[in-house]
């Protein structure tokens, strides 16, 4: 009788069914609603919300609801996004499903493989033990050490690759905190913090993510001015590191570790490091392959012959070499977390859907036009806020690309310099703290099973508020002091 009752309770998960139905209701109400009004930009141009664009918004709402409340596995929500586009003729199948294997998704795949290699070869444990011997036994310092290393690495390599590298290292550190599989505050703070800080660090240089280089190219086309690698870093460095330190404080408040120290950790780490012996051939080979791939990706924009080569092809070479040299085998390939790969496939699919149907542009124009007569500071913050919200759902490059043209048209009327619009948008585009699909590090951290999608969303709200406060401080105080033009005569 008890077993039957437990079975019924599991089957009738009313909370799950409620949010499943809410997602479906939002989809059908929006998709089959009468036509919505046109969006009108500051020049008077009309942007019609087509039937397909309205359908894209409907899929967007269902996907967001199901992802946040995890009514089905996150990868299955992604598949639903593709299926709905085809069944309701929003986009053809060869577009909706093709996006599940874009270069960006394959880049994430290759990054996850690198993380597996770190773990299998023992490089992760070796690095973790060295790090713990330095930072010591206080859990607050372990937080800080992990966050600083994560942020620093994103200055020289893509934040996805950094997250994939740090993830197994954090798993090793966490295993020395507790043997229990039950999630802890320390576990939640460690992994969510890594994801958040990876975003904060990635805004500092052009090497942290593709969004920076694309946005600067886009800015040059519209404004006709180059923003150099070092100019970007000059203005972004204080913002990225202020956010990193604030996030450390944030996680110390919201996820203060159950234990202030891990007694004997430093000595234990030293002993385990010694017990590992000298570095193995596989460790040297794996480290060499990974370092060379990261090095080529980092310098390719400065080497003319390498510029046309996509970074995905470069990082995938590492995957091929791992199997050629038998560092990995078929069992490792089958152990890859395909739920995470599907998650980003769905994210790319809905992102391109909103972009190609014109739904994203319609949203941007409606939002920014509301602020065309506002105070300049309110207008700049409205752009940053829009990009922050949109980058949680669609590609951050797309979020910038749909908002910058409209913002740069409105800006001269309010006397706002284009630079402050570009940089404020780039800051928020790098830190999607609400949904796992906003950035690969979010999804990689989720694989730790320390937190739910609902928890990530819930604690992402105050983190996003902190982000907006920092952006406001940068726009009003930090950047003007540093010499950035804010207003034009």
- Note the pLDDT tens digit of each residue in 116-155: 888 889 887 888 888 888 888 899 999 999 999 899 988 8
Q: What is the pLDDT at residue 396? A: 65
How many C-alpha atoms does 92 have within 13 Å on its Cβ side? 2
Return the residue matching tokens 């886009």. Answer: 218
Q: Which of 203, 186, 193 is nearest to 245 (CA)?
A: 193
Tell me the range of 39-48, 159-168, 212-221, 448-457 where mean pLDDT is highest: 448-457
**Separation between Cα atoms, residue 425 and residue 137, nearest integer Å:** 39
Cβ burial 212-229 (10 Å sphere, 16+ → b, else e): bebbbebbeeebeeebee
Triad 469, 471, 473: Cα angle to 5°: 70
338-357 and 359-369 helices, crossing angle to 10°: 70
Average pLDDT over residues 60-71: 88
pTM above 0.95, yes or no: no
- pLDDT tens digits, 279-326: 899 999 999 998 898 788 777 767 888 878 887 888 899 999 999 999
Q: Which of 351, 305, 284 is nearest to 104 (CA)?
A: 351
Confidence of residue 489 (pLDDT cuts 50, 70, 90): low
Q: What is the pLDDT at residue 3? A: 52
**All residues at 6 or more sequence positions from 308 whose CB lies less than 8 Å from its CB, including other chains:** none
Average pLDDT over residues 402-428: 81
Q: What is the pLDDT at residue 363? A: 85
The phi, psi pair for 180, rounded to 5°, reads -75, 140
Q: What percent of the chain has pLDDT over 70?
A: 93
Which has more confidence, 105 or 217?
A: 105
**Separation between Cα atoms, residue 101 and residue 291, nearest integer Å:** 25
139-153 and 229-254 helices, crossing angle to 10°: 160
* Cβ neighbours around 387 below 10 Å, total: 26
Tell me the range of 288-302, 387-401, 473-487 where mean pLDDT is highest: 473-487
Q: What is the pLDDT at residue 395? A: 63
- pLDDT tens digits, 334-386: 888 888 888 878 888 888 888 889 888 888 888 878 887 888 899 899 989 98
What are 465's two structure tokens?
């508020």
With a cut of 50, say whether residue 12 has pLDDT above it.
yes
Average pLDDT over residues 401-421: 77
With a cut of 90, say whether residue 42 has pLDDT above it.
no
Q: Are 204 and 236 in contact (CB under 8 A)?
A: yes
Beta bridge partners of 39: 47
Confidence of residue 61 (pLDDT cuts 50, 70, 90): very high
* Cβ neighbours around 77 below 10 Å, total: 25
Q: Are 265 and 186 in contact (CB under 8 A)?
A: no
Average pLDDT over residues 52-78: 91
With a cut of 50, say whether residue 1 has pLDDT above it.
no
With a cut of 80, say whether residue 403 has pLDDT above it.
no
Q: What is the pLDDT at residue 315? A: 85
Q: What is the pLDDT at residue 457? A: 93
Return the residue matching tokens 């967007």. Answer: 60
Q: Which of 79, 132, 119, 13 is nearest to 448 (CA)?
A: 119
With a cut of 60, say whether residue 4 has pLDDT above it.
no
With a cut of 70, say whether residue 8 has pLDDT above it.
no
Please give, one letter per residue, the 3-state secondary structure of the chain.
CHHHHHHHHHHCCHHHHHHHHHHHHHHHHHHCCCCCCCEECCCCCEECCCHHHHHHHHHHHHHHHHHHHCCCCHHHHHHHHHHHHHHCCCCCHHHHCHHHHCHHHHHHHHHHHHHHHHHHHCHHHHHHHHHHHHHCCEHHHHHHHHHHHHHHHCCCCCHHHHHHHHHHHHHHHHHCCCCCCCCCHHHHHHHHHHHHHHHHHHCCCCCCCHHHHHHHHHHHHHHCCCCCHHHHHHHHHHHHHHHHHHHHHHHHHHCCCCCCECCCHHHHHHHHHHHCCCCCHHHHHHHHHHHHHHHHHHHHHHCCCCCCCCHHHHHHHHHHHHHHCCCCCHHHHHCCCHHHHHHHHHHHHHHHHHHHHCHHHHHHHHHHHCCCCCCHHHHHHHHHHHHHHHCCCCCHHHHHHHHHHHHHHHHHHHCECHHHHHHHHHHHHCCCCCCHHHCHHHHHHHCCCCCCHHHHHHHHHHHHHHHHHHHHHHHHHHHHHHCCCCECC
């Amino acid at each position: 009788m008890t077993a039957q009752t437990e079975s019924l309770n599991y089957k009738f998960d009313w909370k799950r069914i409620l949010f499943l139905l809410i997602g479906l209701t939002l989809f059908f109400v929006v998709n089959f609603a009468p036509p919505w009004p046109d969006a009108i930009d500051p020049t008077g141009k009309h942007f019609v919300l087509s039937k397909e664009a309205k359908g894209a918004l409907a899929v967007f709402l269902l996907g967001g609801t199901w992802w946040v409340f995890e009514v089905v596995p996150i990868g299955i929500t992604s598949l639903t996004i593709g299926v709905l586009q085809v069944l309701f003729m929003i986009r053809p199948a060869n577009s909706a499903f093709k996006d599940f294997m874009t270069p960006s998704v394959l880049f994430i795949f290759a990054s996850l493989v690198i993380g597996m290699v770190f773990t299998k070869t023992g490089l992760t444990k070796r690095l973790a033990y060295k790090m713990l011997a330095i930072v010591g036994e206080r859990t607050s310092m372990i937080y800080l050490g992990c966050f600083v290393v994560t942020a620093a690495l994103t200055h020289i390599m893509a934040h996805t690759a950094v997250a994939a590298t740090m993830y197994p290292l954090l798993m090793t550190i966490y295993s020395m905190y507790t043997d229990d599989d039950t999630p802890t505050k320390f576990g939640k703070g460690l992994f969510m913090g890594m994801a958040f800080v990876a975003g904060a660090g990635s805004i500092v240089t052009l090497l942290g993510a593709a969004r920076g280089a694309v946005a600067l190219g886009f800015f040059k086309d519209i404004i006709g001015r180059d923003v150099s690698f070092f100019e970007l870093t000059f203005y972004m460095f204080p913002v990225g590191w202020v956010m990193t330190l604030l996030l450390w404080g944030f996680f110390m408040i919201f996820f203060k570790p159950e234990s202030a120290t891990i007694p004997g950790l430093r000595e234990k780490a030293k002993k385990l490091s010694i017990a590992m012996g000298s570095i193995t051939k596989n460790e040297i080979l794996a480290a060499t392959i990974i370092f060379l791939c990261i090095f080529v990706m980092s310098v390719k924009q400065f080497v003319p012959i390498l510029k046309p080569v996509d970074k995905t092809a470069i990082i995938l070479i590492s995957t091929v070499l791992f199997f050629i040299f038998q560092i990995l085998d078929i069992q490792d390939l089958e152990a890859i977390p395909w739920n995470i790969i599907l998650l980003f496939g769905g994210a790319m699919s809905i992102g391109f859907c909103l972009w190609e149907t014109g739904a994203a542009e319609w949203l941007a124009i409606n939002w920014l036009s509301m602020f065309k007569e506002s105070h300049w500071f309110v207008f700049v913050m409205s752009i940053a806020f829009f990009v922050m919200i949109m980058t949680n759902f669609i590609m951050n490059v797309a979020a910038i690309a749909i908002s910058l043209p409209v913002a740069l048209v409105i800006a001269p009327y309010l006397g706002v310099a284009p630079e402050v619009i570009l940089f404020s948008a780039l800051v928020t585009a790098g830190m999607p703290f609400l949904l796992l699909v906003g950035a690969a590090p979010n999804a990689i951290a989720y694989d730790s099973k320390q937190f739910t999608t609902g928890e990530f969303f819930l604690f992402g709200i105050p983190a996003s508020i902190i982000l907006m406060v920092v952006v406001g401080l940068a726009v009003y105080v930090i950047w003007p002091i540093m010499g950035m033009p804010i207003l034009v005569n």
